[in-house]
Chain A
Amino acid sequence: MTPAIDLRNVSKIYRRYSGRQFATLKSALLQRSILRDLSPGETFQALSDVSFTVPRGSTFGVIGRNGSGKSTALKLVAGITKPTSGTVKVAGRISALIELGAGFHPEISGRENVFINGIMLGLTKREIQDRFDEIVDFAELREFIDAPVKTYSSGMYMRLGFAVAIHVDPDVLLVDEVLAVGDEGFTHKCIDKFAELRRRGKTILLVTHSLALVERFCDTALWLDGGRVHGHGDPKRVVDAYLIDVEASEGQELATATAKAVEATSAPETGPTPTVPAETVDAGASGDPAAGELMDMFRATEGRWGSRDVEITEVALVGRDLAPSFVFHSGDPMSIHLSVRAHQPVADFVFGIGLFNADGVCCYGTNTYAEEMEPEQLSGDAEVTFDIAALDLVEGTYKIDVAVHKRDGVPYDYHRQLYTFRIKSRTRDVGIYRPQHSWTFSPGVHFKTTGRRDP
């Protein structure tokens, strides 16, 4: 049996049209301009040598970062653009959910638009008539169907576009990231509709950022990166490989961001220095210097201040593999590694650590004084390591405070939220803290044992 979709060595080169807004008849007539337009500097390779086949009746997911060529691949399959080289073969009627309601005219009613859109997508008037009620009910727009489309909200617009496109009854359905068009209920309805089409042996090509959807729904996944195929095959395997890659580059990004933040604040004490920040006030109120510092941790602004008699020269977040890292999984161990230098020996010092989530909420804060370690002597270069056995945090971006200060809160060197790391988690739990936990059920409560339910 011939496959539903067959791409062989497909490449697609776009012209950048960088100087294109000035392109005129005149410049095109001058040969030099045409040559320049096609020179490599003026072109952009969206896909290079991509091959894949989608068997009839299967569901195929394409994942990848923004700009990886996913949508280009979809447009090629849809026949909207032609490949620069290679062949694209598609068997059967195609319906592309690429731009929903692309053909809608704002001035005329939803009803008229359904008909015209349906005809554009290849239906006959008769067929639309037969499906009209179904389409309107699916879009949940019965009471607005005779209003001009320009009065619709964007959600209504998308729903109507989706409803028409999905009722074309295609052999091959192309879906480009359109499931975000409605509320939860509508999204579920869309997924149910996909499932129904799948049961009826239709081929579905899905371009999406929803990895859960790919894992749950697709028979095969394709991972595109920079216009090339980076992974192809079992969805779970491909998604995992993709996630690892995303983490690596996220780590890179965070490293750059952190380096920037430290750079920006490490020039010692220039400009107006935030003098002893609020500690005195808070400490005075509670009478406990450590409490003052902890209170202050709730005020979240980046920065660095202090006398620098003792300086924190380097901060590293170290993961399981003992290498500095910026991306951790929930439950991983992490060590915060401080290099400090005392420019003169001090006897009054406290090391403090604070952990903040992206909202600036302090998830945890502690210091050596609060943990009843009496300082005695600090001199020269030293290393301080704060070990966290398990990062029991939910997914998100976190920032870290590190500080060394006197017992009364007067800082030597205070680094406020200069260090960022990210927690990855496959569980969609929420909160600022994930206690170690387990569920126990009495007999009579049953869950399916195979696989996780995806969100």
Chain B
Amino acid sequence: MFANLVNLFRYRGLIQSLVVRELKARYRGSVLGFFWSFINPLLLLLVYTFVFTVILPNDVKGLQPYALFMFCGLLPWNWFSSSLTEASGSLIAGGNLIKKVLFPAEVLPIVSVLANMVHFFLGLLILLAFLIGYRHWPDPGDLLWFPIAVVVQLIFTAALGLILAALTVHFRDIRDLLANLLQLWFFATPIIYYWRQENVVRFKPLFDLNPFTHLAISYQEILFFPGPFGHWKWLLSLGVGSIALFLAAYWLFDRLRDSFAEAV
């Protein structure tokens, strides 16, 4: 297994070019092309702004502008959920490669996660532009934590992506199940509501069990709330847990590897 993990590092050239291909191919043929990666989050942000200033005005103090607060959690969530959705179908979509070419299958879900990470970064630029536009400066000291949050999320997402990809080959039901599960997970995570709200704090132990809670809170604290960043213990524990999860996921993937070429 560890030999294979080392191989994964050797495939970085392949992963890199596949990610680039994925990004290039996604908007090939559309008029705006790569700009969609900016326009999509921009439109999303405008929709949320409209909803939470006109339709459901939210005037909780300290959470203004509310759309921006939500966006801090929503962008990483989108990265997470579309990564998992794509990763779970990645082996089936890449069936030709697995069946016909000697190809390291684990590359495929990881490419899904990384390609979506690039979209996350592009959306982040929009978020930053708006934060600056609203004169809502993030704390520079907190920003040092940002890369750490990204790395933790990357490992966590990759681990789940590997597990889902491997299992979906055998149980196609997972893809449908996953869509609904993600929907539930989204609302169970303090993204569109504030985790210090009274009715959330009451269930804090439950929320703490949800790994994405800590990612969402971390992003919100780093990007939206004034410092200092108080959630770092949770973030680091999640990081350690994610590494363990990734190793377990890789072990599972490795165990199932030989069945892919036949079951895809």
Q: Which residues from chain A sit less than 8 Å from chain B, CB to CB?
A: 14-15, 17, 23-25, 28, 75, 78-82, 94, 96, 98-99, 102-103, 105, 107-108, 112, 115-116, 119-121, 124-125, 148
CB nearest neighbor in A for B15: A119
- Tell me whether B13 and A120 are in contact (CB under 8 A): no
Nearest chain A residue, comparing its CB with the CB of B167: A25
A101-B192 Cα distance, complex, nearest whole Å: 45
Q: How far is the CA of A98 from the CA of B102 in the complex (A)?
A: 10
On chain A, the residues within 8 Å of B13 by CB distance are 119, 124-125
A25 and B173 in contact, given A82-B258, A105-B25 (Cβ under 8 angstroms): yes
* Measured CA separation A78–B262 after assembly (Å): 14
With CB as the reference atom, state the residue of chain B lying closest to A123. Answer: B13
Kindly identify, within residues 224 to 264 of chain B, every residue whose CB is under 8 Å from any CB belonging to chain A: 258, 261-263
Q: Are A80 and B173 in contact (CB under 8 A)?
A: no
Q: Are B14 and A14 in contact (CB under 8 A)?
A: no
Q: Which residue of A lies closest to B257 (CB)?
A: A82
Closest A-B pairs by Cβ, 5 of them: A99-B100, A107-B25, A102-B100, A107-B28, A82-B258
Closest to A119 in B: B14
In the complex, what distance in Å separates the CA atom of A125 from the CA atom of B14?
10
Nearest A residue (CB) for B94: A103
Q: With a CB–CB cut-off of 8 A, which chain B residues contact A82?
A: 258
Are B102 and A116 in contact, CB atoms less than 8 angstroms apart? Answer: no
Q: B134 to nearest A CB, angstroms?
A: 38
The interface-forming segment of B16-24, B50-58, B149-157 is B16-24
Given A15-B262, A23-B171, A116-B17, A103 and B25 contact (CB-CB distance below 8 Å):
no
Partner of A24 from the list B17, B18, B24, B171 (CB cut-off 8 Å) is B171
B18 closest partner in A (C-beta)? A116
Q: How far is the CB of B94 from chain A (nearest CB, A)?
A: 8
By beta carbon, the residue of chain B nearest A106 is B25
CA distance A291 to B53 in the complex (A): 98
Smallest CB–CB gap between A89 and chain B, Å?
Answer: 15
Smallest Cβ distance from B256 to chain A, in angstroms? 12
Instruction: Determine the chain A residues whose CB is within 8 A of the CB of B98 once the complex forms.
Output: 80
Q: Of B21, B100, B103, which is in contact with the most chain A CB atoms at under 10 Å from its CB?
A: B100
Neighbouring A residues of B24 by C-beta, 8 Å? 107-108, 112
A81 and B258 contacting across the interface, CB-CB below 8 Å: yes
Does B97 count as interface, using CB distance less than 8 angstroms? yes
Contact yes or no, B170 A28, CB < 8 A: yes
Min CB gap B107→A, angstroms: 9
Residue contact A80 to B14, C-beta cutoff 8 Å: no
A230 smallest CB distance to B (angstroms): 25
Q: Please name the residue on chain A nearest to B98 by beta carbon.
A: A80
Q: How far is the CA of A102 from the CA of B101 in the complex (A)?
A: 7
A80–B17 contact, CB under 8 A? no
Cα distance A281–B127 in the bound complex, in angstroms: 91
| 21 A-B pairs whose Cβ atoms sit less than 8 Å apart in the complex | A15-B262, A17-B263, A25-B174, A80-B98, A80-B99, A80-B261, A94-B102, A96-B101, A99-B101, A102-B97, A102-B100, A105-B25, A107-B24, A107-B28, A107-B29, A112-B21, A112-B24, A116-B18, A119-B17, A125-B13, A148-B28
Contact yes or no, B262 A108, CB < 8 A? no
Q: Does B40 sit at the interface, judged by CB under 8 A?
A: no
The chain B residue with its CB closest to the CB of A75 is B261
Query: Count of chain B residues with Cβ under 8 Å from any Cβ of A?
Result: 25
**B96 at the A/B interface (Cβ < 8 Å)?**
yes
Please name the residue on chain A nearest to B101 by beta carbon: A102
- Cβ-defined contact, B97 with A103, below 8 A: yes
> B21 to A108, Cβ gap below 8 A?
yes
A102 to B95 Cα, complex, angstroms: 9
Residues of chain B with a CB closer than 8 A to A15's CB: 262
- B residues at A contact (CB < 8 Å): 13-14, 17-18, 21, 24-25, 28-29, 96-103, 170-171, 173-174, 258, 261-263
In the complex, what's the smallest C-beta–C-beta distance from B196 to chain A, in angstroms? 38
Asked whether B103 lies within 8 Å of A120 as measured between CB atoms, the reply is yes
A14 to B258 alpha-carbon distance, docked (Å) = 12
Contacts A116-B21, A120-B101 known; list 19 others, CB within 8 Å.
Answer: A17-B263, A24-B171, A24-B173, A79-B102, A80-B100, A81-B258, A82-B258, A94-B102, A98-B100, A99-B96, A99-B100, A103-B101, A107-B25, A108-B21, A112-B21, A112-B24, A116-B18, A121-B101, A148-B28
Measured CA separation A259–B216 after assembly (Å): 76
Q: Choose among B25, B28, B101 the residue that contacts A80 (Cβ–Cβ < 8 A).
A: B101
Measured CB to CB, the nearest residue on chain B to A21 is B172
The reply to whether A96 and B21 form a contact with Cβ atoms under 8 Å apart is no
Chain A residues near B97 (CB-CB < 8 A): 102-103, 120
Q: CA separation between A15 and B13, bound complex, in Å?
A: 35
Return chain A residues, CB-CB under 8 Å to B17: 115-116, 119, 125
B262 CB contacts on chain A under 8 angstroms: 14-15, 81
- The answer to whether A108 touches B100, judged by C-beta atoms less than 8 angstroms apart, is no
Contacts of A96 in B (CB 8 A): 100-102
Closest B-chain residue to A115, C-beta based? B17
Who on chain A is nearest to B100 by CB?
A: A99
Per the bound structure, the CA–CA distance linking A82 and B259 in Å amounts to: 9
Cα distance A29–B28 in the bound complex, in angstroms: 43
Nearest chain B residue, comparing its CB with the CB of A79:
B102
Bound: A286/B129 CA distance, A: 97
> Please, which residues of chain B bring their CB within 8 A of the CB of A25?
171, 173-174
Q: Residue of B at shortest CB range from A95?
A: B102
Bound Cα distance from A445 to B25, whole angstroms: 60
Q: How far does the alpha carbon of A103 sit from the alpha carbon of B173 in the complex, in Å? A: 26
Q: Which residues of B contact A125 (CB under 8 A)?
A: 13, 17
Contact partners of B174 in chain A: CB under 8 A = 25
Which residues from B are CB-within-8-Å of A99? 96, 99-101
Docked CA distance A215–B147 (Å) = 63
List, in ascending order, chain A residues with CB within 8 A of B100's CB.
80, 96, 98-99, 102
CA of A103 to CA of B262 in the docked complex: distance in angstroms? Answer: 18
**Shortest distance between the CB of B95 and any CB in chain A (Å):** 10
Of B18, B25, B96, which is within 8 A of A102 by CB?
B96
In the bound complex, CA of A148 to CA of B173 (Å): 34
Q: How far is the CB of B259 from chain A (nearest CB, A)?
A: 9
Taken together as a complex, chains A and B put the C-alpha atoms of A107 and B14 apart, in Å, by 18
Whether A105 contacts B21 in the complex (CB less than 8 A), given A80-B101, A119-B14, comes out as: yes
Q: How far is the CB of A117 from chain B (nearest CB, A)?
A: 9
State A121–B100 Cα separation when bound (angstroms).
11
